[in-house]
Amino acid sequence: RAKEVGRNNLQLFDAEMAAKVRAKLRRHEELRDAVARGEFVLHYQPEMNLKTGRIFAAESLLRWQHPERGLVAPADIIPLAEETGLIVPIGDWVLNEACRQNRAWQDEGLPPIVVSVNVSARQFRERNWVSRVAQALEESGLEARYLELELTESLIMQDVGAAIATMHELEALGVHLAIDDFGTGYSSLSALKSFPVRRLKIDQSFVQHVPGDADDMAITGAIISLAQKLQIEVIAEGVETQAQVDFLQASGCDDVQGYFVSRPVAPTEFVTLLAGL
Ligand code: C2E
Ligand code: MG
Ligand code: MG
Ligand code: MG
């Protein structure tokens, strides 16, 4: 009997597995179609300097305008895209679109800003990645200094030597580099010294509980002074309240990004934020 029960369970398990595999294949296909149909859009979240109160940059954030499900967030796109390799064409689209949009804003006479693009590990490892970046700049006519690429610590640490070499090539193009979600990875402090980065973005998980949580206050404060000592800029992500701003300002943080300033918004709405300078 035990054997029989085991066999039945196994059959049930197989059926479940098969259903899961089918569902996954469907989602892959759907994402592939979305790439072909051009169903992606970028939203932009402003970054504000704490000294001047000005918006000087924006992060581009991927959204999928799904015909039935509405606006789909990156958490439901990126893992699937990485798994299928679709992150490469999607990432190319993001890079080109962010450059095109930023140049278009400049052509409209808006104050020039830096637009940053999130880079996935798979994209970064593509053999011709640096020339793709150069091509995106050339085709859009955007000056390199108005493009920033956000890399995570884990992306860099996968192969530090190769990553540093690529980072230097990107730096030579004139684009800026930032380390995203800083504090959540394992980059050693000695490695950090050799990264040609312009700034650190403090992960929102630390920022979330300041002021109030003594540990997070200590960590956030330590990252800010680390950046100051390395003479690179530092921005706090996920800033939602005045109390957080006050703490960050007192700690010497350069910039903030988060709902306190604005949620990520569609390009037309971003223009009104930018024009309101
Ligand atoms: P990230 O690069 O760390 O982006 C910041 C995330 O925090 C965004 O989530 C943003 O909407 C959210 N956020 C901003 N301010 C606040 C705040 O005040 N409170 C809270 N709770 N959240 C805030 P989003 O847009 O869902 O993106 C999630 C992640 O997906 C990004 O994290 C990034 O790692 C990835 N991602 C987004 N766009 C792209 C892309 O084009 N390419 C790649 N490879 N990854 C992307
Ligand atoms: Mg980012
Ligand atoms: Mg981040
Ligand atoms: Mg993040």
- For 185-235, give the secondary structure using H, E and C: CCCCHHHHHCCCCCEEEECHHHHCCCCCCHHHHHHHHHHHHHHHHHCCEEE
Is the separation of the CB atoms in 262 and 241 below 8 Å? no
- Where is average pLDDT lowest: 79-83, 238-242, 247-251? 79-83
**Could you report the per-residue pLDDT of 45-92, keeping only the tens digit for each?**
999 999 999 999 999 999 999 989 999 999 999 999 999 899 999 999
Is the separation of the CB atoms in 93 and 40 below 8 Å? yes
**For 130-143, what is the mean pLDDT?**
98
Q: Residues in the chain, how many?
A: 277
Is the separation of the CB atoms in 253 and 224 below 8 Å? yes
Closest-CA residue, ligand 1 atom 15, reads 258
Q: Which residues line ligand 1 (CB under 6 A)?
A: 45, 61-62, 73-75, 78, 91, 94, 118, 120, 150, 180-181, 204, 237-240, 258-259, 264
Residue 54 φ/ψ, nearest 5 degrees? -95, 150
Which secondary-structure segment (H or E) carries 150?
strand 147-152
Question: Residue 14: what pLDDT?
Answer: 82
* pLDDT above 60: residue 2: no
Distance 75 CA to ligand 4 centre (A): 10
More confident residue, 47 or 189: 47
Q: How far apart are CA 101 and CA 92, in angstroms?
A: 14
**For 190-199, what is the mean pLDDT?**
89
pTM: 0.93
Judge if ipTM > 0.90: yes
Closest-CA residue, ligand 1 atom 46, reads 118
Helix (H, G, I), strand (E, B) or coil at 246: helix
User: Predicted confidence band at 17 (pLDDT cuts at 50, 70, 90)?
Assistant: confident
Token duo for residue 31: 């994402």
Question: Residue 1: what pLDDT?
Answer: 56
CA-nearest of 221, 105, 129, 225 to 177 is 129
User: Predicted confidence band at 5 (pLDDT cuts at 50, 70, 90)?
Assistant: low
